Amino acid sequence: MSAVPARELAPDGPASRPGAPPHLLVVEGLRRQFGGVRAVDAATFSVAEGSITGLIGPNGAGKSTTVSMVAGSLRPTAGRIVFGGVETTGLPAYRVARLGVVRTFQIAGVFEQLTALENLLIGAPNLRGERLWDALVGKWYWKRSDREAVARARELLVRFGLEEKENDRAGTLSGGQRRLVEIMRALMAHPRMLLLDEPTAGVAPSLVHLLQDMLEELRDEGITMLLVEHALGVVERLCDTVIVMAQGRTLATGTMRELRQRQDVLDAYLIG
Amino acid sequence: MHAFIAALGFGIVTAAILAIASVGFTLQFGATNIFNLAFGSTMTASAFVAYVATEANLGLWGAVVFGALFGTVFSVLLNRAVYLPFVKRGARLFEMIIVAIAVTLLISNIIQAVWGASFFTLKLAPTPALNFGALAFTRDELGIIGVAVAAMLCVHALLHHTRLGQAMRATATNPALARNCGIPTTRVIDVVWAVSGLLCGLGGVALVLVTTSFNPQTGTEFIIPILAVAVLGGIGQPYGAMLGAVVIGLMTQLSALVISPEYKQAVAFVTLVVVLLLRPQGILSEVAEQKEVVA
Amino acid sequence: MSQAVQFYLSTLLAYIGVDFIACWALNLQFGVAGILSFCFIIFQAAGAYTAAVLTLGPETPTSFQQYFGGAHLPFPLPVLAAAVVGALLALVVGLITLRRLRRDYQAIVMLVVSLIATLVATNATGLVNGANGLSLVPKPLSKGLGLSPYGTTYQWIFALVVCGIALVCYAVVHRITSSPYGRVLRALRDNEQAAVAVGKNPLALRLGIYAVGGALGAVSGALLVEAISAWSPSSWLYPETFSYFAAVIIGGSGNDLGVAIGALLVPVGFLEAVRFMPTIGGPQFLGALEWIAVGLLLLVFLWFRPRGIVPERRRKYPAS
């Protein structure tokens, strides 16, 4: 593959190369201000459907803030977010999630008092029985849909090798196991895109490999992923495209090899 | 007009007491993120220590010194013996607030068990009123206003002109970073509680000097106006608390001119609710998320 | 069994029923949903006032009590009305407070709501007769059954009726806590961000359970006022909320059986302990001792056994 000048990989707008897959997520001019500080300033990038796209950059580059804005938990001060053709700027996080964007957290988000199985069940969308009226009506109303969800969840637990932990409280699981639970729960929700915020953080090295295999399998099954990572080895292995952020701005986009050859990217990591 | 001037006078004194107490409260909350709801009952306890001092004929100075001393020591001990162990064990914020409530219940009811629920007065000679034009203040009230001003100046000097103050501000903004920079955060936090406790004790004594008769519930209920001031001024912002104290102190007393006097307390209550709902970061603070007011 | 003992036991049984209902209600709001409902006592108060006013009948020129509204409704209508009022009040409070505030700030706002409520009820004399409160509320079942309300038979029947209502409340509570709805609220309690990330709407979900908690709290108040025939602001000062909190935390927050045990230990237990203790130092002293005990118990349990005597149990799902 010959080196392509960075200019031609300009990320704004629709796919710039003929035959490239459509962009599931498009972010334009995103800005987020906290008081006098601009954590994110004019971030613009897009994520191709079916890809694993990496988002890297030195500490303080604004990656997590950007992810929070895409997920809807932070409201952008300016800019647009378009997911699957629908503008999601300013939508509350739960609505964005229902559109198919599921986010994981730097510290694995598990429900500590609930069992691993129950953690997964929370991910199941449109379960009968999750509204007050359903609960008051009685068990007969939601028993079957719950059973089906339990069966799906058990399959996932087996697939990810955690079936023995089914009835353990999630608070007792290790960091890596929690991460797996978090991802399995995300899968229960039939996501179109996963926003993974440092998924290998807090995961034992032996488990990191498994995690990478899992993510590749998921990509093959058609799930798009935007991956924030510090471990560049993981990024190199998994990501087709990588976006670099520094000081709140999107600096460059390309493959890891292309980015390594760019002086501005190297400078950003040394300075930032 | 006369009523207005009188209310204005009361308002200034109320603002002074609120300022002393709320600056103490907000300094501590800003640095530790712990809602010390027992602050109010510690004020009451300090007031009772002052009462014991006056009963022992130690006079005004005895009352002030012992009250302030009690507040200081008690607050440091409270943190070390109760709050800190819970924090170290990883107690979540909502557990901490229940702990604070439990401590409040303990303090105010121990006071009641020991002294009974009736009203007390400090045994001090009555002081003449001094007139400034139409405003009239007693010597004690002037003293309180003076102490408030002095306390604010000292706090300002502490925060901005001493190494300790710098360390306090650093710890309040980012404890982990402060620790990494070599600041002995545990000792700094002890000092923060001591300063907060000193102001708490002074505030408690001032409160009972002005209200002349008090019971075990007096200071405990004062926590709400203190919270209102702290939230209005921006959590952790001492200058905001000073400003907020003036606003709420004046508003509370002046409101008695337009609404029924029983509802005076409601001014602080309603302010607190409204501020938390509309602008939880307060009037001075710009950074809501950093202080995690918003979930 | 002597009359006096029968009176004592039947009243105790009624109190137990009332406190069970109240603790289950608070458990829904706090144990399951994790809301620091520091204004809980206002729901019990609203239920008590509603039931009192709907049993007393409208103000007459000769009555010495001034209050708003009134009717002579037969039992159990006042209790049902109380439930509705409790639910509506909870919705109002919930809509105001259950927004994007950090949980401890929410708690403060709710505490202040409780204080404002006390202030208004005490001073707005035409509303619920101010500081004197409502009294001489007629006993509910006596007319219908043709029994003297002062006889032991009536007492026992009333106590059993309270227990029956408590069972109904338990059925409602159990349905909620054992359903996917209960599960999703526990998830929101444990990690709101993660639940939102899979599409759960925190406000809508919490308003529902908060309203049910308010309704049940009001039912407990309605039954309580029918038992003691009087209700004034001194019955529901803000610390009462924490007596129930202590019951829930000590008993086992999140566990229906646990909080029932907590109800027996704290509200009921203290009531009975005070009755049997020698009256040293007068009622104020004993009252203060009670609260000291509550405070100490809270600290001790929060330190040594924060999940309570009977903790929330893990749910296992049957094999597919």
Domain that holds residue B139: 2-291
Name the residue in chain C with its Cα closest to that of B102: C295
Instruction: Give yes or no for a contact between B188 and B195, defined as CB atoms under 8 angstroms apart.
Output: no
CA distance B211 to chain A (A): 41
| Contacting residues for C267 by C-beta, under 8 A, at least 6 apart | C15, C19, C22, C23, C243, C244, C247
All partners of chain A with 3 or more CB pairs under 8 angstroms: B, C
Residue ranges, comma separated, of all CATH 3.40.50.300 domains in chain A are: 9-110+190-271
Strands (E), chain B: 120-121, 129-132, 135-138, 213-214
Chain A: residues touching B (Cβ < 8 Å): 34-36
Q: For residue A34, list chain B residues with Cβ-Cβ distance below 8 A.
A: 287, 289-290
Contacting residues of B for A35, CB less than 8 Å apart: 286-287, 290
Lowest mean pLDDT among A104-113, B274-283, C114-123: B274-283
- What's the Cα-to-Cα distance from B201 to each of B16, B17, B194, B215, rounded to whole Å? 14, 11, 10, 16
Put simply, the answer to whether C288 touches B106 (Cβ < 8 Å) is no
Nearest C-alpha neighbor of B228 from the set C29, A211, C111, C258:
C111
pLDDT band (50, 70, 90) for residue A6: very low
Residue C267 carries which DSSP code? Answer: I
Of C178, C195, C315, the CB nearest to A115: C315
Write down the pLDDT at residue B79: 94
Read off the pLDDT of residues B158-203 as tens digits, 9 standing for 90 and up. 888 888 888 888 877 777 777 777 777 788 889 999 999 999 999 9
- Residue C105 to residues B42, B46, B267, B277, Cα–Cα distance (Å): 21, 26, 18, 10
Residues whose CB is less than 8 angstroms from the CB of residue C132 and which lie 6 or more positions away in sequence, other chains included: C65, C232
Looking at residues C269-293, what average pLDDT do you find?
79
* B292: closest CA of chain A, how far (Å): 12
For B58-98, the pLDDT digits (tens) are 878 888 999 999 999 999 999 999 999 999 888 887 789 99
Q: Which residues of chain C does B102 touch, with a Cβ-Cβ cutoff of 8 Å?
A: 242, 294-296, 298-299, 302
The reply to whether residue B292 touches residue C107, judged by beta carbons under 8 angstroms, is no
- Cβ distance C208 to A109 less than 8 Å, yes or no, reads no
- Put simply, the answer to whether A111 touches C208 (Cβ < 8 Å) is no
Mutate to test the interface with C, among A111, A155, A195 (most CBs of C within 10 A): A111
Among partner residues B116, B263, B293, which is closest to C102 by beta-carbon distance?
Answer: B293
**Maximum mean pLDDT: which of A26-30, A173-177, A217-221, C26-30:** C26-30
Asked if the Cβ–Cβ distance from B289 to A34 is below 8 Å, we say yes
Pair type for strands A241-246 and A224-228: unpaired
Residues 6+ apart with CB under 8 A from B163: none
pLDDT at A10: 40
Confidence of residue B56 (pLDDT cuts 50, 70, 90): confident
* Strand duo B135-138 + A193-197: pairing: unpaired
CB contact under 8 A, B96 and C104: yes
Q: Which class would CATH give A9-110+190-271?
A: alpha beta
Distance, in Å, from the CA atom of A202 to the CA atom of C136, rounded to the nearest integer, reads: 65
Q: How far apart, in Å, are the Cα atoms of B28 and each of A10, A272, B231, B288, C173?
A: 50, 34, 13, 18, 41
Residue B222 sits in a domain of what CATH number?
1.10.3470
Chains that touch C (3 or more CB pairs under 8 A): A, B
Specify the amino acid at residue A89.
T
Instruction: State whether C199 and A97 contact (CB < 8 Å).
Output: yes
**DSSP secondary-structure letter at C281?**
S
Q: Rounded to the nearest 10 degrees, how much is the dihedral formed by the CA atoms of A132, A136, A141, A146?
A: 50
ipTM of the shown complex = 0.89
Interface contact flag, C292 B280, Cβ < 8 Å: no
Residue C86 carries which side chain, given as an amino acid letter?
G
Number of domains in chain B: 1
A21: confidence class by pLDDT, cuts 50, 70, 90: low
Candidates A113, A148, A150, A166, partner chain C, best to mutate (most C CBs within 10 A): A113
DSSP per-residue string spanning chain A: -PPPPGGGG--SSS-SSTTPPPEEEEEEEEEEEETTEEEEEEEEEEEETT-EEEEE-STTSSHHHHHHHHHTSS--SEEEEEETTEE-TT--HHHHHHTTEEEE-SS----TTSBHHHHHHHH-TT-TT-SHHHHHH-HHHHHHHHHHHHHHHHHHHHHTT-GGGTTSBGGGS-HHHHHHHHHHHHHHT--SEEEEESTTTT--HHHHHHHHHHHHHHHHTT-EEEEE-S-HHHHHHH-SEEEEEETTEEEEEE-HHHHHT-HHHHHHHHH-
Among C195, C200, C320, the residue with its CB nearest the CB of A150 is: C320
For chain C, the 3-state helix, strand and coil shares in percent, each to the nearest 5, are 70, 0, 25
- Partner A contacted by C267 (CB < 8 A): no
pLDDT value at position A7? 36
Taking one residue from A and the other from C, the number of pairs with CB-CB distance under 8 angstroms is 118
Interface contact C198-A110, CB threshold 8 A: no
Burial of A36 (0-12, 13-18, 19+ CB in 10 A): exposed
C-alpha atoms less than 13 angstroms from C-alpha of B206 in its C-beta half-sphere: 28
Distance, CA of A117 to CA of C213 (rounded, Å): 28
A93 CB neighbours in chain C (<8 A) are 196-197
More confident residue, A11 or B189: B189
Cβ atoms within 10 A of the Cβ of C141, count? 17
Q: Pick the more confident residue, A17 or A82.
A: A82
At position C99, the amino acid (one-letter code) is R
Whether C209 sits inside 8 A of A132 (CB atoms) is yes
Asked whether the predicted pLDDT for residue A22 surpasses 90, the reply is: no
Q: Which residues in chain C have their CB less than 8 angstroms from residue A142's CB? A: 179-180
pLDDT tens string C61-77: 666 777 777 777 777 88
User: For residue A5, is pLDDT > 50?
Assistant: no
Helices C256-263 and C152-177: crossing angle in degrees, nearest 10, is 150
- CA dist list (Å): C117 to A246, C50, C68: 52, 15, 16
- C134 secondary structure, DSSP code: B
pLDDT tens-digit map of A184-199: 999 999 999 999 999 9
